[in-house]
Amino acid sequence: MSYVSQLFQPRIRQKIRLNALMDFLKLIPRGVLAILHKIRCIGVTAEMSSQEKSKLGIFNHLNFFQFITGIIVPVAGLFNAQKFPVSGWLVVCMPALVSVGVLVLNAYRKHQLALLAYFVLYPLFICVSYINGISLGAELSFILYGILSVFFIQDIGYMIFSISFSMISYFFLSVVLKKYTYQLEEINFIAYLINQGLAILYIFYGLYFIKTENGNYNTVLQQTNAAIQKQSNQLQQQATELDQLNSLKNKLFSVISHDLKAPMYALRNLFDNMQSQDMPANEIKEMIPEIKNDLNYTVSLMENLLQWAKSQMQAHTVKAHEIDVTELIEDVRHLLHLQAEAKNIRIESKATGPVYAWADSDMIHLILRNLVSNAIKFTPRGGLISIGASELSAFAEVYVQDSGTGMTPQELKKVNSQDFYTTNGTSQEQGTGLGLMLCKEFLAKNDGHLRIESEKGRGSTFSFTLPLS
């Protein structure tokens, strides 16, 4: 071995010892924390709520620390055997044994029995010690029992008994009995100070954990209340929607049963008369226009019902793509020109060029068809209907304007409501209000909005917006 290595070897060994000592000191807090965690988890089950687990953990820690405190007096008695009788020493050991018993009961999941043992036996054995003339310097512990009983005990009667027992014991031992044969203060003053200090620490420890637990419990309660309120709002919203759907269903059945019945009866009567009475051709011809009008209405109603049913089954399906609104206007004009010519109504397009929007073409086609059909219905013979479309800065606007009967403010309010509102047209055409409801629903799905302007005797304008392509 070289001189240099001999010179540095003691320093290396010293550094190794120092590192080992530091590593050992680092392990101590972890070991203590691990022990405290194991003690806190004694008797905890998966079925317990977070609040119950927290309370049990605090209860286990209190019993563990009171066991540590409880052995101070017996240890002091061992070192002062001439001042401490054997019977007295056995009595002062009992509170510490109670703490051990409580932890064992919790380990076997006898939680209620553990609470009973703690709040009855612990103060009872301390009282027995004082009655036997041994002052443990633990009078403040009775205040701790009173505080903890409020926190741990659920039963009101049991809680009142525990508080009363603790306070009466404290008053009797501190005020009535003042002279004791054996006083810890005289036997071992340091142990007496430690006992008093720990009793004060336990009181603050108990109050701190009660405050913390109550704060956590209040937070959980607030979160639970917020979740319940949210669920309540959702249920209320769902109940409102279900009520609206139920009302809609009733109205639809009423409309279907009433409005489909008339054209079917008319056809049946026509065929019955043709079969049984051998009606002449001229009489049949006279009846056909009215029946045809009823059938046109029925076809329109059936188309709207089928579209509505489809929209309900595919509530979230909107196949939006780039559409040219002008092409849809021309298609609707061609589709309804016979219906307009029957009343000598002219339909003109004011769209001068392509107008591109982002929407579902089938839905927009149905909206235009319903609005134009509605305009034809309420426009007198020889009237005019204008359809236009234009691109604005933020959206595309489409309108259907007629020179029809118009609406009063009261009628306009009913039309804007969610109810099925309709009146007979200028040629006594019937309606259900379902078409306008479909228009509003389909526009909402395509991020559009319907606006109605009308004045009695001066016609109406139905316009809607769509997102630009």
- What is the tens place of the pLDDT at every residue in 335-353? 788 778 888 888 888 887 8
Task: Answer whether residue 326 shows pLDDT above 60.
Answer: yes
177 is a domain residue: yes
Task: Answer whether residue 71 shows pLDDT above 60.
Answer: yes
Tokens of 57: 């953990």
Q: How many structural domains comprise the chain?
A: 3
Taking residues 99-127, what's their average pLDDT? 85
Q: Same domain for 269 and 187? A: no
Looking at every residue in the chain, the average pLDDT score rounds to 76
Q: Same domain for 403 and 447? A: yes
8 is a domain residue: no
Q: Is 157 exposed, middle or buried (0-12, 13-18, 19+ CB in 10 A)?
A: exposed
Taking residues 429-452, what's their average pLDDT? 78
Q: Same domain for 117 and 192? A: yes
213 is a domain residue: yes
Identify the band that residue 254 occupies on the pLDDT scale cut at 50, 70 and 90. Answer: low
Tokens of 77: 């008695």
68 is a domain residue: yes
pLDDT computed for residue 294 by the predictor: 67
Nearest-5° Cα angle at 192, 194 to 118: 75
pLDDT computed for residue 21 by the predictor: 45
Instruction: Tell me which of 146-150, 174-178, 342-346 is least confident.
Output: 174-178
Taking residues 310-337, what's their average pLDDT? 78
Q: Same domain for 382 and 468? A: yes
Q: Same domain for 61 and 90? A: yes
Q: Same domain for 209 and 83? A: yes
Domain end (from 298, 316, 334): 316
Tokens of 217: 């419990």
In CATH, what number is assigned to the domain containing residue 340?
3.30.565.10
- What is the tens place of the pLDDT at every residue in 289-316? 777 766 766 776 677 667 666 666 555 5
Domain end (from 316, 346, 364): 316
234 is a domain residue: no
Q: Given CA atoms 153, 155, 160, 165 in this order, what sign does their dihedral have? A: negative
Angle of helix 281-313 relative to helix 434-445, nearest 10 degrees? Answer: 30
Which one is predicted more confidently, 157 or 205? 157
Q: Same domain for 440 and 401? A: yes
Taking residues 146-173, what's their average pLDDT? 77
Max avg pLDDT among 99-108, 111-120, 271-280: 99-108
Domain end (from 282, 298, 316): 316
84 is a domain residue: yes
Give the integer Cα–Cα distance in Å for 425 and 378.
5
Scored b (16 or more CB within 10 A) or e, 389-404 reads: bebeeebbbbbbbbbb
Q: Same domain for 209 and 63? A: yes
52 is a domain residue: yes
Task: Answer whether residue 395 shows pLDDT above 50.
Answer: yes
Question: Domain limits at 288?
Answer: 260-316
Q: Same domain for 434 and 292? A: no
Taking residues 76-104, what's their average pLDDT? 74
Task: Answer whether residue 375 shows pLDDT above 70.
Answer: yes
Q: Same domain for 50 and 192? A: yes
- What is the tens place of the pLDDT at every residue in 15-34? 554 565 455 445 556 677 78
Identify the band that residue 6 occupies on the pLDDT scale cut at 50, 70 and 90. Answer: very low
Q: Same domain for 300 and 328? A: no
Q: Same domain for 126 and 105? A: yes
410 is a domain residue: yes
